[in-house]
Chains A and B, each alone.
Chain A
Amino acid sequence: MLEGELVRLRAIEPEDRGRAAVWLADPEVTRYLTYRYPSSQGALGLHGDWLAEGWENSFANGVRLSIETKDGVHIGGINLHRIHPEDRKAGLGIVIGSREHWGKGYGRDAVATLLRFAFDEMNLNRVWLTVVDEHAPAIACYKRCGFQEEARLRQEFYKNGRYYDFIQMGILRRDFDALRAKGGGDA
């Protein structure tokens, strides 16, 4: 269990699947996500077949966690994928599926909490992510967490009838440590 200020990150449980199915059926939630084909609960892209047996979080498997509020409401998921032992880097993905919890700092706290785990426990050197350029609240959130814009991938993402540029962002361990030393951001 990873404790943040507003959220806790815990292992995914089979009963999370039903809520994930509801979120992924909501076009507002999936607007900027790769997820697009309607799918049955059993075949869910986010919380797939492995859900029944549970996901074993490890360096090799990657980390997939459910985000819940301090009073135990499951509001989304967060993960570290493509974890690379030599380069000591990982990609980060997050969804706050419960729309009533948008814009209240839960996502930012979840990202800050997972970054602390990535650097202080997994001993990573870099965490990166990609985000649709039009998704301003997400970009602002990642910046507050210490991510820097590193690349603009032109027309990398097709959704909603058009191509979007992808912004690739990255945070290094030293960026995170500097933010922490300042007591800034949410580190």
Chain B
Amino acid sequence: MLEGKQVRLRAVEPDEVEPNYRWFNDPEVTRYLAVGYPISRAYEAQWLERRGSSGNNFASGVQLAIETKDGVYIGNVGLHEPNAEHRTAVLGIAIGEKDYWASGYGTDAIVTLLRFAFGEMNLNRVSLHTFDFNERAVACYQKCGFQIEGRLRENYYGGGRYCDVIVMGVLRDGFDRMHGVAP
């Protein structure tokens, strides 16, 4: 259990199909994610099962449920493609419960996970991709310590057009100065 200020991050449980099914079939949520095909409950169940059996560890990466301090499950956050030599990983987040958007939960979840990434997993760099039209996300990532590192032209197609992808990265030193790696 990783404790933040507003949220706690815990392992995702195999029986949590329903909220995930709802979130990842919601066009308002998936608009900001690189998914778009309808997802079945069966697929969600398999995914949660696989995730549960691989566990959270360096080799498999980390996939965690975000819940509020009073126990409401509002989304997921993860570290993917961990690389041992480069000491890098890629961060992904989705707050599926739209009532909890723009209230600091995402920022707190990311800062909490980055503290784990640098303070426990001993990573040196975490990066992410976000769409150019998702300005709110860029601002949130900047608050967490990410810097804009570039713009990949026409890197993603969705909603009838190509859009640019913003690449952002945070290094351990930069995060430490802003938020402190040690809790």
The reply to whether A150 and B88 contact each other, CB–CB distance below 8 Å, is no
CB contacts (< 8 Å) of B155 on chain A: these are 87, 89, 126, 128, 170
List the B residue with the shortest CB-CB distance to A149: B150
CB contacts (< 8 Å) of A157 on chain B: these are 86
Tell me the complex Cα distance, A126–B154, Å: 7
The reply to whether A87 and B156 contact each other, CB–CB distance below 8 Å, is yes
Task: Report if A125 contacts B (CB, 8 A).
Answer: yes
CB contacts (< 8 Å) of A125 on chain B: these are 154, 162
The reply to whether A86 and B157 contact each other, CB–CB distance below 8 Å, is yes
List the B residue with the shortest CB-CB distance to A154: B169
The reply to whether A155 and B125 contact each other, CB–CB distance below 8 Å, is yes
Given contacts A36-B85, A163-B124, contact A150 B153 (CB under 8 A): yes
List the A residue with the shortest CB-CB distance to B164: A150
Task: Report if A99 contacts B (CB, 8 A).
Answer: no
Chain A residues proximal to chain B, CB less than 8 Å? 36, 86-89, 125-126, 128, 148-158, 163, 168, 170, 172
CB contacts (< 8 Å) of A168 on chain B: these are 150, 152, 167
Number of B positions contacting A (CB below 8 A): 22
Distance (whole angstroms) from the CB of A178 to the closest CB of chain B: 14
A155-B124, A155-B125, A156-B127 provided; 20 other pairs, C-beta below 8 A?
A86-B157, A87-B155, A87-B156, A88-B157, A126-B153, A126-B154, A128-B155, A150-B152, A150-B167, A151-B151, A152-B149, A153-B149, A153-B169, A154-B147, A154-B169, A156-B86, A156-B125, A158-B85, A163-B86, A172-B154
Task: Report if B87 contacts A (CB, 8 A).
Answer: yes
The reply to whether B86 and A154 contact each other, CB–CB distance below 8 Å, is no
CB contacts (< 8 Å) of B93 on chain A: these are none
CB contacts (< 8 Å) of B127 on chain A: these are 153, 156
Tell me the complex Cα distance, A101–B169, Å: 36
What 10 pairs across the A-B complex have the smallest Cβ distances?
A151-B150, A151-B167, A158-B86, A87-B157, A150-B150, A151-B149, A155-B125, A150-B152, A86-B157, A158-B85
The reply to whether A158 and B152 contact each other, CB–CB distance below 8 Å, is no
